[in-house]
Amino acid sequence: MRCPYCGHLEDKVVDSRLREDGRLIRRRRECASCANRFTTFEQVEEVQAMVVKKDGSREMFNRIKILQGLNRACEKRPVTADMLENAVSSIERKLQDSGEREVSSTKIGEMVMAQLRELDEVAYVRFASVYRSFQDIGEFMTELKTLINTRRA
């Protein structure tokens, strides 16, 4: 590791700590030349899944897009930013754990809906109405009845 102060290439690790569910390591280092200390962070480089869209096109998985969709659905609802961040992290972790290199946008959408169902039912219905492209009030009512029935069970 190159020292950010003097550029020397040798250092020693003074302290190491795990952060963020064990996926990130924080290391305090001391330069062997100038004795200045600095911090580095290490994490496993994970291969991001490619998202296969409905039209067949592919793009890299983008957690920001999911977070924006959740923010829109949860607007003016009692859902905190931390709750949304945790939901996105959960989705991302499930995708990483699956090991799939390609995942359909439909599967991601269903994962988002499952997270929203747990967070806020109104936000879930908002998202579902856009995601599922309800054509009439009947489809909307069917989704509401399903939600009500699962809540009672």
What tokens were used for 36?
């200045």
Q: Which is more confident, 40 or 153?
A: 40
What pLDDT is stored for residue 83 in this prediction? 94
Tell me if 143 sits within 8 A of 128, measured CB to CB: yes
Cα separation, 143 vs 71, whole angstroms: 21
- Where do the domains of the chain lie? 11-43, 50-152
Q: How far from 82 is each of 4, 71, 122, CA to CA, in Å?
A: 33, 11, 18
What pLDDT is stored for residue 45 in this prediction? 66
What pLDDT is stored for residue 46 in this prediction? 67
Which tens digit of pLDDT belongs to each residue from 79-131?
Answer: 999 999 999 989 988 998 888 899 999 999 999 999 998 999 889 888 887 77
**123: buried, middle or exposed (CB in 10 Å: 19+, 13-18, 0-12)?**
buried
What tokens were used for 107?
């599967």
What tokens were used for 5?
């102060």
pLDDT at 136 over 90: no
Against a cut of 0.85, is the pTM above it? no
Q: How far from 101 is each of 27, 95, 151, CA to CA, in Å?
A: 31, 9, 34
Which tens digit of pLDDT belongs to each residue from 21-61?
Answer: 677 899 999 999 999 999 998 877 666 789 999 899 999 99
